[in-house]
Amino acid sequence: MIDAKRKAIIFLTISFLLAVVTAGLILVQINEAQTKLGKTVQVAAVSKSIQSYHEIGDADVTWVEMPATSAYESFITNEQELEEAISVVNLEEGELLTNSLVRKKLDIPANERVVWLNATEIVLIDQQVAEGDRVDIVIVTKNAEEQLETKRMLENIPVVQIEEQAEGAPRVKVALPIEDAESVIHYQNAAVQIRVLRVNQASAGTEGV
């Protein structure tokens, strides 16, 4: 009888200790999860509207706290990333800065420009694109005999900004040398059709449309 009671007491004691240890481990895991969720990071944002090719100074930037889990790698989180940097597109107050929206002054060739590629009756964007993507530009024109001709005008063009619209397709901005920018603007008014094709960057640099 005594042995049975002793065994029962030992069993209950061990069960209690295991329950305490399990509860402790669960609390530790909960605290770790709360700590991770509570971590924030400072992200650079525009403190006022600025134009493209504007040299960014301290007065142009404000730092916004946001959860670390929501901060994308492309966001600028270090002041050094903005040293001697300029905007490559127009930026609105409060817009978060990413690596594709600003560049070091030395990174931008003197003859480079940013051009709109808005979806219109002439300009067709075949697939949704995002900042950092690359696109090919294919044009359809009429020759002297009024016959249609199709050719790939430009390839591997970087998309520097996407601007969502309340209605319709988003606005797309690409960076081009000035001569190519002039050609794109010309064909936006003169071509029968312009197709914007997103490049599969895994195979970028290889032939194929």
CA distance 73 to 175: 21
What's the CATH architecture for 40-107?
Alpha-Beta Complex (3.90)
Radius of gyration for the chain, computed over Cα atoms and rounded to the nearest angstrom: 28
- Residue-wise pLDDT tens digits, 106-163: 566 778 888 888 888 889 888 888 888 899 999 999 988 889 999 999 999 988 888 7
Q: Where are the domains of the chain?
A: 40-107, 112-202
Query: For a pLDDT cut of 90, what percent of the chain falls above it?
Result: 25
CA distance 126 to 28: 50
- Residue-wise pLDDT tens digits, 8-44: 677 677 776 776 677 667 766 766 665 555 678 888 9
Chain centre to alpha carbon of residue 138: 24
Alpha helices in the chain (DSSP H): 2-38, 178-190
pLDDT number for residue 27 = 64
Does the predicted model carry a pTM greater than 0.85?
Answer: no
* ∠ Cα 188 193 199 (to 5°): 90
Confidence of residue 209 (pLDDT cuts 50, 70, 90): very low
